[in-house]
Structure 1
Amino acid sequence: MTREIELKLDLTPSAAEALEGSTILGGKPERIPQRSVYFDTSDHALSMNGFSLRIRRSGRKRTQTIKADRAFPAGLFVRSEWERTVRNDRPVLDDTTPVPTVLGVGLEELAPVFEVRIARSVWKVKHDDALIELVLDRGEATTDDRISPICEIELELKSGTLSALFSLARHIDSVAPVRLGVQTKAERGYRLIGPAICSFKAEAVRLSKAMTAGQAFQHIVQNCIRQFRLNEAMLLTHRDVEALHQARVALRRLRSSFSIFKPLLAGAEEAKLDNSLRRLATKLGDARNLDVLLERARPGLLHDHLEAARDKIYSGVIGELASPRPRSLMLDLAEWLSSGDWRIRLDTCEDRDQPAREFAIAALERLRRKLRKHGRDLAAKNDAARHQIRKDAKKLRYAATFFVSLFERKHEPQRYEAFLIALEKFQDLLGSLNDLATAPSVLERLGLADLDDAAVLLAGHKKGALLKAASDAYDALSDTHSFWR
């Protein structure tokens, strides 16, 4: 078993050509054509358990590789690997690998599920006193009837510091735009097998009870970055409403994690990162506001104007995502997460090193007290105050979903489900009230407030009924048992 540390970067074919034509890489690369066959059971038991199994042919040599994915900062792939030479495209599995334990009686059911064909170029690069292997892969993952193109860079640290990987990535980005990579080749292949996906919801956060609060924070932020990057990639090729919504959700989850783990993060760098995330989230939020209005507007003049306005603002969003700022932000965030000063500060070590479950209990209790306090007399508050309550509810909901895997003792899962249902109902009603409150200003800003259809749209919800329902939902949530106590 070996350990590797890689930084993965995505790029376009034209950017790859620009990189090869630059002076960054030095001499000529080693060219290695590769064909990899990935194996699994019919129900994808290996993948479901976090493993991949491939046999790769390079020249006349065939190598079987089993990889176990682990939770590390987004973009960084630190994995356990089991490798051996094999004679043909038939897996050789024994007790030196984890596969028999994972599959048990399903071992004989292994069969090819997809192929990956790659034209690989390899350079050895010396950068900032580090030796880094730079691999440029261009090719495709294929099934019988579907293809997923691949164009990516893997920077593997052979010697030197982790910061050198990110420094080289930024140097590459200066001549060939690159984005933080969050998908393995195996993931690309598995996505060909299922239905086409236009957006990516947040994946479940799995925290180990042995984790410290600091390790839990790293895992949660990695999860959020991954959700953002997957949806950003979709947005850059398709103007999908749900992809934009999920990208915005990812940024909100990211910013909420900063707030939830604030006791660990008392520095200027995290404040700078949070401000950059907020600016990007605001741009996506402006587009989302128009999506919400369009869902409610009936066909007619107002709908046509809103659609034109949305097309314009989506162009602005795509332009922003295509600019260097988001690319740099994700690299900065990944580097800070993996090697930033927050990990070693003496003044925060007590909070950072405490068990994740203890930190989660204190954080959830604090957030619930805040929501209870602010949510009282909901109907008597103004729109701005209710918007703040809505943000409090979102933060509590995100914290609950971040920490749920730490609460699997007797009755805790059932209490979590009941708590989340009550919280989501309250949050949804606050969201409807917020949509009603923001619609007039959005229409005013677009110069559409005087259209006849605008009055119909604004009258589409009864505010009094929503306030009553939200107040009842608050009372129900207040009476719901905490799952962490």
Structure 2
Amino acid sequence: MADTKREIERKYEAGPETRLPDLTGLRGVAAVVDKGVAELDAVYYDTEDLRLAAASITLRRRTGGDDAGWHLKLPVAPGTRDEIRAPLEDDVPRSLAALVHARTRGAALVPLVRLRSHRDVRHLVDAKGALLAEASTDTVRAERLAGGDGGTVEWTEIEVELADGGDPAFLDAVHKRLRKKGLKPSGSASKLAKALTDTGWRPAGPPEPDGTVGARILAHLREQAGELVTYDAAVRRDLPDSVHRMRVATRRLRSAFRTYKKILDPAATGPVADELKWLARELGVDRDQEVLAERLTARIDALPVTLLLGPVRGRLRAWAGAGRAGSRGRTLAVLDSERYTAILDSLDALLADPPLRPAAGKDATAVLPRAILKDHERLAARIDRALALPAGHDRDVAMHEARKAAKRARYAAEAAAPVLGKPAKRFVKRVKAVQKVLGDHQDSVVARDTLRDLAIKAHAAGETAFTWGLLYGQEEARAAERERELPEVWARASRPGKLGV
């Protein structure tokens, strides 16, 4: 069974004669405890074309020290990684291989680099003996095994890792002390990155966008494709909001294909967009279940105890648990499917050889505002239609269609914001407010359908349906409130403003 540890650390360059400066008295450090020397031997795995390294991901099998085993490190932020551990065995554990499937896509994980480290460990502890951080001086010898021309390299570094649950500001204080003592931050994010760089690896980054609209849209698409792959691992780990974030990436990609069809040939992007729509729908099963369960739980929690008649909480938990189990399994099956892998491959192929149309070479500041305004006009037409309809099913459907148009207009402006700046950001803020009102209205429509089903099942089981009916009425009132609120919110967004720069 794999377990996870949040790793927050700083690395510093050192020489063979460098010693860790005295840190006693620094921000609560009562003592620096010598923990001895450990001999570590780690073999890092990757695909032959270094897909994990290109994403700053490391996968290693390490012996020695007190944490021998398999370690997969996923970047969270600069200096921060999630380390997922698995027991020591010969082959890459399936649980860890699954977390990088979106990167490897069936390519073999092979030994890439062997690192042998002589680690001199010190513990920084407070007056009660509690660990604040671990500081180590590592003398490293790296041997390239694959993905290059071989070779070895040696270096020394100092690493300071924050204790579990520690205040990151403590590392800032350590950093200041070490800098005063002449130590420089390491230029590499990890030992593996340094080993690869020093043995000749030069990762190819994405091209810098020029002033053309084609370059700007391609940069946006690459960013969203990267988000899609990144959140694959988060969804597999069942991290909060991960399904939503992954689903949003699919929407942003599809939205860009539609909005900027004069830039990218829809004959090429259309099939990819269709597959992304399928993926978003499949992910929605899990996400919609999660959102609805949270909404109904909050509604029940807000009711006085005197209005909770019958086993309301128990029935909701049973409903949520059964739905969650089914939706979770379905989501994982989708991520393991050949169809999903083919989507990722087709996105890579499209971005490697983009189907740019002649308009892609035009100035981004001239083209982007027109595309955004066109999406805004579509939104305006759908809002007008929704507001003209009487309350009921048809208006509910029209408001849902307006919500989708609001997302598209918002995504279009977000893609253009790096070029258009503050005017685009103001546009995003106003349209996002409209989207929020329409989204809450749609959530109420979905909640009412579920509440009705729960009431029917409660009645059939001989329970009172009073509370479910009460909640239904509350959702009905909330939807009506959103409908009354929409004209005012839309009035602030109905004038898109000047988007040119």
> The TM-score by the shorter chain falls in which range?
0.5 to 0.7
Q: Do the aligned partners of 1:276 and 1:329 also contact (CA within 8 Å) in 2? A: yes
Partner of residue 215, structure 1: 215
Q: Do the aligned partners of 2:247 and 2:284 also contact (CA within 8 Å) in 1? A: yes
Offset at residue 7 of structure 1 (A)? 6.7
Question: What count of residue pairs does the alignment treat as equivalent?
Answer: 329
Partner of residue 247, structure 1: 246
Deviations, residues 74-102 of structure 1 (Å, cap 9, x unaligned): xxxxxxxxxxx9985489xxxxxxxxxxx
Question: Taking structure 1 as reference, are residues 449 and 303 closer, same or farther at Cα in structure 2, changes over 3 Å only?
Answer: farther
Sequence identity, in percent? 21
Residue 360 (structure 1) aligned to one of 344, 362, 368: 368
Counting only pairs closer than 5 Å after superposition, residues 389-404 of structure 1 correspond to structure 2 as: 389-404=402-417
* Secondary structure in structure 2 of the residue aligned to 1:300: helix
Residue 406 (structure 1) aligned to one of 416, 419, 422: 419
Query: Aligned AA for 2:415?
Result: F
Query: Aligned AA for 1:406?
Result: V
The unaligned stretches of length 5 or more in structure 2 are 1-47, 60-71, 73-91, 98-105, 118-138, 145-151, 159-178, 301-312, 390-394, 459-464
Deviations, residues 360-393 of structure 1 (Å, cap 9, x unaligned): 1111111112222221253333222111111111
Give distance in 1, aligned partners of 2:111 and 2:495: 66
Partner of residue 481, structure 1: 497
Partner of residue 230, structure 2: 230
Query: Aligned AA for 1:428?
Result: K
Question: Taking structure 1 as reference, are residues 272 and 243 closer, same or farther at Cα in structure 2, changes over 3 Å only?
Answer: same
Give distance in 2, aligned partners of 1:380 and 1:286: 32
Deviations, residues 244-284 of structure 1 (Å, cap 9, x unaligned): 11111111111111111112333544221111110110011
Q: Do the aligned partners of 1:34 and 1:120 also contact (CA within 8 Å) in 2? A: no
Offset at residue 454 of structure 1 (A)? 3.8
Partner of residue 185, structure 2: 111
Question: Taking structure 1 as reference, are residues 207 and 286 closer, same or farther at Cα in structure 2, changes over 3 Å only?
Answer: farther
Counting only pairs closer than 5 Å after superposition, residues 185-200 of structure 1 correspond to structure 2 as: none
Partner of residue 331, structure 2: 317
2:491 matches 1:466: no
* Secondary structure in structure 2 of the residue aligned to 1:33: strand
Question: Taking structure 1 as reference, are residues 442 and 229 closer, same or farther at Cα in structure 2, changes over 3 Å only?
Answer: farther
Q: Do the aligned partners of 1:32 and 1:119 also contact (CA within 8 Å) in 2? A: no
Q: Do the aligned partners of 1:255 and 1:277 also contact (CA within 8 Å) in 2? A: yes
Partner of residue 167, structure 1: none
Residue 335 (structure 1) aligned to one of 349, 352, 362: 349
* Secondary structure in structure 1 of the residue aligned to 2:114: strand
Partner of residue 51, structure 2: 8
Give distance in 1, aligned partners of 2:371 and 2:484: 29
Give distance in 1, aligned partners of 2:230 and 2:107: 28
Question: Taking structure 1 as reference, are residues 339 and 207 closer, same or farther at Cα in structure 2, changes over 3 Å only?
Answer: closer
Counting only pairs closer than 5 Å after superposition, residues 123-134 of structure 1 correspond to structure 2 as: none
Give distance in 2, aligned partners of 1:406 and 1:322: 37
Offset at residue 335 of structure 1 (A)? 1.2
Partner of residue 433, structure 2: 425
Q: CA RMSD in A?
A: 4.4
Partner of residue 307, structure 1: 321
Q: Do the aligned partners of 2:140 and 2:154 also contact (CA within 8 Å) in 1? A: no
Give distance in 2, aligned partners of 1:215 and 1:262: 14
Q: Do the aligned partners of 1:260 and 1:399 also contact (CA within 8 Å) in 2? A: yes
Query: Aligned AA for 1:468?
Result: R
Deviations, residues 162-194 of structure 1 (Å, cap 9, x unaligned): xxxxxxxxxxxxxxxxxxxxxx9xxxxxxxxxx
Q: Post-superposition, which runs of at least 4 consecutive aligned residues in structure 1 deviate over 6 A? A: 106-109, 119-122, 154-157
Give distance in 2, aligned partners of 1:207 and 1:468: 46
* Secondary structure in structure 2 of the residue aligned to 1:376: helix
Question: Taking structure 1 as reference, are residues 361 and 109 closer, same or farther at Cα in structure 2, changes over 3 Å only?
Answer: farther
Query: Aligned AA for 1:357?
Result: T
The unaligned stretches of length 5 or more in structure 1 are 18-23, 37-54, 61-84, 92-105, 123-134, 136-153, 158-183, 185-204
Give distance in 2, aligned partners of 1:271 and 1:307: 37
Query: Aligned AA for 2:489?
Result: A
Question: Taking structure 1 as reference, are residues 313 and 31 closer, same or farther at Cα in structure 2, changes over 3 Å only?
Answer: closer
Q: Do the aligned partners of 2:211 and 2:363 also contact (CA within 8 Å) in 1? A: yes
Calculate the TM-score normalised by the size of structure 1.
0.58
Give distance in 1, aligned partners of 2:437 and 2:399: 11
Deviations, residues 333-379 of structure 1 (Å, cap 9, x unaligned): 11121115x14xxxx31x12112222211111111122222212533
Residue 142 (structure 2) aligned to one of 58, 70, 81: 58
Offset at residue 293 of structure 1 (A)? 1.4
Larger Rg: 2
Give distance in 1, aligned partners of 2:333 and 2:212: 39
Residue 385 (structure 1) aligned to one of 384, 398, 403: 398
